[in-house]
A and B are shown apart, each in its own frame.
Chain A
Amino acid sequence: MQFTSESVEDLVEQFSKLPSIGRKTARRLASFVLKMPKTEVEELARALVAVKERVRFCTVCFNVTDHEVCPICASSRRNRSVICVVEEPNDVMALERTDGFDGVYHVLGGVISPLDGIGPEDLRIRELVARVSEPDAEWPVSEVILAVNPNVEGDTTAFYVSKLLAPLGVNVSRLARGIPMGGDLEYTDEATLARALEGRVSA
């Protein structure tokens, strides 16, 4: 299927640059936009531009925010002695939804991956070390939780970061991995079960 309009082709091109959008989906999105009322299209366009104009990175944790310092870092109710290190801003949102963490975050902006040309210098690792080593009378950092994804790149990044933090005398921990809530031992795959066994906790 070829569109007879160059502007539609253009839009398809733009959509297909987005992650997990193939040619087919891009065409579907473009024809949907064609049918949208003009006001809605303008809203969409404005939102897209605003994101680039207004959003910046929190100067403390590098999460996305509209302010100099994000609401989490600015809050007086958060325990700033505990820093949870994540890969992306989305991970902060996921952890916030749990309502189970009252510490603060540090967003690395990715993981070490030579295949993608990403080394520690491309991530906010230096900033993390500075944050942890900075003397703070009120909130000395006591624990760093590495909440990176449990894959090869996440593991390696966690290993690297914990090595850098080791001399600073803070507790460094990682998220436990294992059987999902509501899961059934019988149907849990062997590898996950083995890891859960490895990382067992005292009852």
Chain B
Amino acid sequence: MQIDKVTLAGFRAHAASTVDFSADMNLLVGPNGAGKTNVLEAIHVACLSRSFLTHNDRHVLRRGSDHYAVEARFTSDRGKQIRVRVAFQPGAGKRVFVNGAPVERLTDLVGRVPVVVFAPDDQRITAEGPDERRRFLDSMLCQSSSTYLENLVNYRRTLKQRNELLLTQRRRGVPVDADVLASWTAELIRHAAPLVEARLAFVAGFNRHLETAYGRIARVAERPSIRYEPLPGIRAGEGSGGDAADDTGSEAGVGDDAAHPHIALSDIADALGAALERSGRAERQRGSTQTGPHRDELDMLLDGHLVRHYGSQGQHRTFGMALKLAQYDYLRERLGERPVLLLDDVFDNLDPGRIEAFLNILQSDAVGQSITTAARREIVHAHLPDGPCRTLQVVPGGQVEEAMDDGWGNGTRSGEQENGQITANDADHGEPETDRHD
């Protein structure tokens, strides 16, 4: 998938901007607050209907605008054109159009244009709590399977209902109708079991991608892996067993290796039922569901040790980047389509060795188009091997212009010159104040 063009109106720092992209590496440069990241956010909105920085569309709205609109034109790897338009107006909500036709549910957009974002806080995936790791897992699985997305939406809704019931029970101090609770439990398991099944299959197939990606960034002998054990006796991705180092399946596609025999959905459902049964007393006391996919942990390991406990700064950073690079590979393999690749300020805090390794990856055949933001272009340019790269200058106030051409970027907008003036008061251009429309 390739993004050809994006138009932003009333979006963060941009009153009205249009950006054309080349099919290879694109570099968005400009001072802080100029609206570089906003361009990536807008592309993300066109891919998944929401920003990767906030769930609240009011935060994205430009100060003084009564609505925002993002329009993006993509070309799939098979040459099919996809036009996505997302419009939001406080009070009226958000509407999505694909090739001019309205999309009924926002979730219907997910999966059409796969996207992977590298962000400076990717190291949080390994460094912080299990929420971050579940979010990473879900974002990947939702993009690769609409069945997963639907089960996740239904699971969350059921969980909310069931928790409300448990909370009412605790408040009143009298047990609720046991049959009602049992009905919610049955519904919960019905949506939870396929989630666990999909997560198991994912972890079993993902370690191969992760190992390759990590090696390409760090060039060290450490072996990364993911381990998932949601229920007693049900697990995938051994940490130190050595089963993940299976290279034979590199073209198999599914990646279920022999060490992970398929576990039947009914067995998962039974195990979930037993786990909920065991936590019955705790959930009555606390007034919320204590076990299930919303509590799952995904262990991330280096040579069998938890990165969260033993990882150095550099290891967290490398692991985070490797996860995203592996996500790119995984989605490409699953969907037969290269995801749109967005990199937000990832080079600014990276050591020269890793910048070079990473730029090499971006310019290799493994990756198609990429869109990168950088506060200072020198950081990237100093390491840039010969190759096509188009540099676009984002100026305060939200315009995007062709900067000087590096490599073979085709300068479609002739006559425009570099415009890197930095004004003193532009610091908050990218972040309108929150909730001012309430």
Contact = CB atoms under 8 A, between A and B. Distances in A.
Contact of A191 (B147, B160, B164, B183): B147
Contacts of B164: 114-115
Interface string B323-336: 00000000000000
A190 B147 contact: yes
Contact of B161 (A115, A163, A189, A191): A115
Contacts of A22: 91-92
**Chain A CB within 10 Å, residue with most, of B92, B176, B179:** B179
B179 A152 contact: no
B150 interface: yes
A152 B179 CA distance: 16
B170 interface: no
A119 to B, nearest CB: 6
Contact of A164 (B149, B161, B176, B179): B179
Nearest to A23: B91
Contact of B187 (A119, A152, A164): A152
Interface in A104-125: 112-115, 119-120
A65 interface: no
A156 B165 CA distance: 13
A194 B161 contact: no
A143 interface: no
A3 interface: no
A101 interface: no
Interface in A2-36: 22-23
Given A114-B164, A115-B164, A152 B154 contact: yes
A156 B184 contact: yes
Nearest to A161: B183
Given A115-B164, A189-B108, A156 B147 contact: no
Nearest to B149: A191
Interface string A180-194: 000000000111001
Nearest to A164: B179
A161 to B, nearest CB: 9
B168 interface: yes
Contacts of A194: 147
A114 B183 CA distance: 12
Contacts of A113: 161
From DSSP, what is the main secondary structure of chain A's interface residues? helix
B183 A159 contact: yes
Interface residues of A, number: 22
B273 to A, nearest CB: 14
A159 B187 contact: yes
Contact of B165 (A114, A155, A190, A191): A114
Contacts of B191: 152
A190 B145 contact: yes
A159 B176 CA distance: 17
A189 B158 contact: no
A27 to B, nearest CB: 13
Given A152-B157, A155-B187, A159-B186, A112 B180 contact: yes
B337 to A, nearest CB: 15
A120 B186 CA distance: 16
B190 interface: yes
Nearest to A157: B183
Centre residue among B108, B161, B164, B186 by max chain A CB count within 10 A:
B161
Contacts of A157: 183
A91 interface: no
A133 to B, nearest CB: 16
Given A191-B147, A191-B150, A152 B158 contact: yes
Given A115-B164, A120-B180, A189 B187 contact: no
B419 interface: no
A34 B186 CA distance: 53
A127 interface: no
B179 A156 contact: no
Interface of A: 22-23, 112-115, 119-120, 151-153, 155-157, 159-160, 163-164, 189-191, 194
Interface of B: 91-92, 108, 145-147, 149-150, 154, 157-158, 160-162, 164-165, 168, 176-177, 179-180, 182-184, 186-187, 190-191
Given A114-B164, A120-B180, 12 more contacts: A113-B161, A119-B176, A152-B157, A152-B158, A152-B161, A152-B187, A152-B191, A153-B161, A156-B158, A157-B183, A190-B147, A191-B150
